[in-house]
Amino acid sequence: MSAYTPAPTGTGARAQVQRAGAFLAGMVMPNLGAFIAFGLITALFIPTGWINTFAGTVKSPLLITTQIGTMVGPLIVILIPILIAFTGGKNVYGHRGGVVGTVAFIGAMVSPLALQLKGLSLNGEPPIAPKSLGDLGPNILAAFILGPLGALLIKLWDGVIEGKVRGGFEMLVDNFSAGIIGGGLGVFGLYVIGPVTFWIAQGLGSLVNSLVNLNILPLVSIIVEPAKVLFLNNALNHGVFTPLGAEQVAGGAGKSILFMIETNPGPGLGILTAMLLFGPRAIRPTVPAAMVVHFLGGIHEIYFPYVLMKPILVIAAIVGGASGVLWESIFGLGLVGPASPGSIIAWALVSPPDNIVLNLLGIFIAAGVTFVIGMLLLGFGRKETATDAALDLEAAQEKSKQNKAKSKNQPAPSV
The least distance separating another protein from the CB of residue 15, rounded to whole angstroms, comes to 5
DSSP secondary structure of 143-181: HHHHHHHHHHHHHHHHHHHTTTSPTT-HHHHHHHHHHHH
Q: Which is nearer to another protein, 286 or 370 (CB)?
A: 286
The C-alpha atoms of residue 307 and residue 295 are separated, in whole angstroms, by 16
* E strand residue ranges, 287-359: none
Where along the sequence are the contacts to another protein (CB under 8 A)? 1-2, 4-8, 11-12, 14-15, 18-19, 22, 25-26, 29, 230-231, 233-235, 283, 285-286, 289-290, 293, 297-299, 301-302, 304-305, 308-309, 341, 398, 401-402, 405-406, 408-411
Nearer to another protein, 370 or 402 (CB): 402
Shortest CA distance to 102 belongs to which of 156, 161, 142? 142
- Dihedral angle, C-alpha 222, 8, 269, 219, nearest 10 °: 0
Closest CA to 145 of 101, 98, 199, 82: 101
Cβ 82 vs Cβ 186: under 8 Å: no
Shortest separation between residue 245's beta carbon and another protein, angstroms: 18
Nearer to another protein, 297 or 324 (CB): 297
Closest approach of another protein to the CB of residue 151, in Å: 16
> Is the Cβ of residue 18 or residue 264 nearer to another protein in the bound state?
18
**CA pair distance 322, 307, nearest whole angstrom:** 17
Residue 136 CB neighbour total at 10 angstroms: 20
Task: Give whichever of 289 and 377 is closer to another protein, judged by the CB atom.
Answer: 289
Work out how close the CB of 26 gets to another protein at its nearest, in angstroms, rounded to a whole number: 7
Q: How far apart are CA 387 and CA 113, in angstroms?
A: 62
The least distance separating another protein from the CB of residue 98, rounded to whole angstroms, comes to 16
Shortest distance, position 66 Cβ to another protein, whole Å: 35
Distance of closest approach, residue 223 Cβ to another protein, in angstroms: 17
- 341-354 CB burial, b ≥16 within 10 A, e <16: bbbbebbebbbbbe
Query: Coil, helix or strand for 318?
Result: helix
User: Based on CB atoms, which residue is closest to another protein, 332 or 413?
Assistant: 413
Among the listed residues 311, 353, 310, the one whose alpha carbon sits nearest the alpha carbon of residue 333: 353
Q: How far is the CB of 360 from another protein (least distance, A)?
A: 22
Alpha carbon distances (Å) from 21 to 141, 205, 326: 14, 20, 26
Minimum distance from residue 363 beta carbon to another protein (Å) = 19
Choice between 19 and 118, CB closer to another protein: 19
DSSP-derived secondary structure letter, 301? G
> Which string of DSSP letters, residue by residue, matches 215-258?
T-GGGGHHHHHHHIIIIIHHHHIIIIIHHHHHHHIIIIISSBTH
Distance, in Å, from the CA atom of 218 to the CA atom of 264, rounded to the nearest integer, reads: 13
Nearest of 263, 208, 201, 232 to residue 39 by alpha carbon? 263
Closer by beta carbon to another protein, 109 or else 269: 269
Question: Of 235 and 253, which CB lies nearer to another protein in the complex structure?
Answer: 235
